[in-house]
Structure 1
Amino acid sequence: MDAFASILSAEMAKKKSASKPGSTDAKSATNNSSSGSGSKYIRRADIEKARQEQYLADQARLESERAERAQKKRKADEEAAAERERQLEKRQRLRDEKEKARLQKEQEEEEERKRKLREKNGGTDDGDADEEVKKDQIDEATAIEKLRELKEPIRLFGESNAQRIRRIQRLTGVREASPPPLSGGELLIDPKNVTKDPSYVRRQLLGWFRLVVSEWQIALAGRDEELRESYQGRQATTAMTQAIENLQPLFKHLQRGDIDEEIFAKIVELVVEAQARRYVRANDVYLRLSIGNAAWPIGVTMVGIHERSAREKLHEKGKSAHIMSDEATRKYLQSIKRCLNFAQTRWPPEDPMQIMG
């Protein structure tokens, strides 16, 4: 038994010694396979790192391209601004040269005028000439400011500074000579003065219409904000503005005294009735003034060489329709009607039968 055990242990020792080199080879094979797997497979961390590096490189490239484009744009803008500045300087230089030439021409014209004035006065300047020269020395800015105060155009086509100053002198002379406006009881018109003192009646008409317009403006300005901004409120404001604008030709005719006699007589009659608060009669006068009561042509009025019967009634004097005369007359006649409508609401009549429909 002991012999068998010794033999068995000897055999087992041999097998163990024979199996040791094989195990070493297996371990080396395993290590080789694991090292070979590094070239065949990639880790996720390596992929993420490579992606980040590529992203940063792309961003750096885009940033450099963006900076390059911005620099090019900035350079182009600077060049365009410099070009605009050169153009502005060139235009300013041309304007200065033209202004200098214009001033020089005006100075030469002024010298020529003074020379002719001296020749006319026998080689000496009298006091009036000196005064005129002093007035002509007004600079352009002062002349423009004066014209704006007078509510006149600051410059007419082809007008020089000397001509502008003479226009100011002419305007101020006319305005200083005009009589003061009437007010209060002076506005009550006496029909007898139409033939005795028509200029005073024209002043009374001007004062009455201006009184109605001013009261109209005050009435519209005193409305509530909601009513003023509504559709009806804006329409009322537009009607007042148009009436004031369309009355200006009538005011000019009254100031110059060149208004048509027939229209003047009818307007006086209308205002007299309105001042007496007889608005129905004033409306009748307005109808006679605007559309007249002459026969209106209907159909064919001239078919041969002979006039038809009663044809002369179409152009009968004193019965014509003045609203058909011209556009300016039509507009200020309609504005007179609007003033009459407002006067009826501002100064209502005591008799209800005198209220216009």
Structure 2
Amino acid sequence: MDAFASILSAEMAKKKPTTKPAGATASEKSAPKDEATTTSKYLRRADIEKARQEQYRAEQARLEAERAERALKKRKAEEEAAAERERVLEKRQRLREEKQRAAQEAEAARRAQETAAASTPDDDAKDSLAPVEQMDEATAIQKLRDLHEPITLFGETHAQRLRRIHKLTHGGSSSPGTPRRTPSPPPLSGGELLVDPKNVTSDPAYVRRQLLGWFQLVISEWQIMLAGRDDELKESYQGKLATQAMTQAIENLQPLFRHLKKGDLDEEIFAKIAELVIEAQARRYVRANDVYLRLSIGNAAWPIGVTMVGIHERSAREKLHEKGKSAHIMSDEATRKYLQSIKRCLNFAQTRWPPEDPMQIMG
């Protein structure tokens, strides 16, 4: 019994907690608890959420820094590209101004040579020019009107006007033994280009000069319009097509210009072109287009739209094969080309000088 009691006492002593001395501090009491907490295998959800938020903020700060760096690089690249474009534009402008200056100097030199050559006529020319130099301004203007010439040119003085009258009436000064050639009259300008329908039959030579001047005016305005475009538009596909169309139209109009200068244009074509120009100058472009259709298609348009049976068909065939009338005026290749170029000039004139009546806009 004593042995059993001793063993039981020993076991109970093991199970009994050890008491700490009264002087122990609070930190020593809480030490085992903190140690147990740090060695625990479980984490609090608040700690996990806090760590995730800190990681998210760090990632956003890094992305913002990278974004700011890329924006800075892009802004620097755009500034450099803009500066480069500005330098290129300045260089092009400088080259253009140099070319214009060189052309103006060459033109001034040429005019100076012509003035010097014209201001030193020989003795025979001086004798023949003497009556003209005594002409006053009113007489000179009336003389030019009688010659169907412009009364004054741009920047022309009275002495130059008298010299022009002398050249028109005497063929200019020439050296002995040199055959005199009648100079071509100067082109018309301004209000002198307006064609009067009465002059088509009464004064066809003057109307031919008016037609030639009007087509040259349209071409010059066309060239100015295309030259004023941006370089980017000029180098585009549509810009190159527009330039090519203008160049082709100018080239195809040369036979018409030669016929107008020589005065050997077909009477029917001349009358229709004069009517077309009259309508275009009045900004009646729909009527001008109708005249162009009658001019280009001719009598070949007669069978279109009629019932091709019986007398209608026979009448159409008789119209087409009637002697003295062309069934198709565009059978000639050169004529076909300059008539198409006239249509292109008409289209440009509609955009350059738009009609007041919207119903006169061609489709």
Normalising to structure 1: TM-score of the pair? 0.47
User: Computing the radius of gyration over CA atoms, which structure comes out larger, 1 or 2?
Assistant: 1
Normalising to structure 2: TM-score of the pair? 0.46
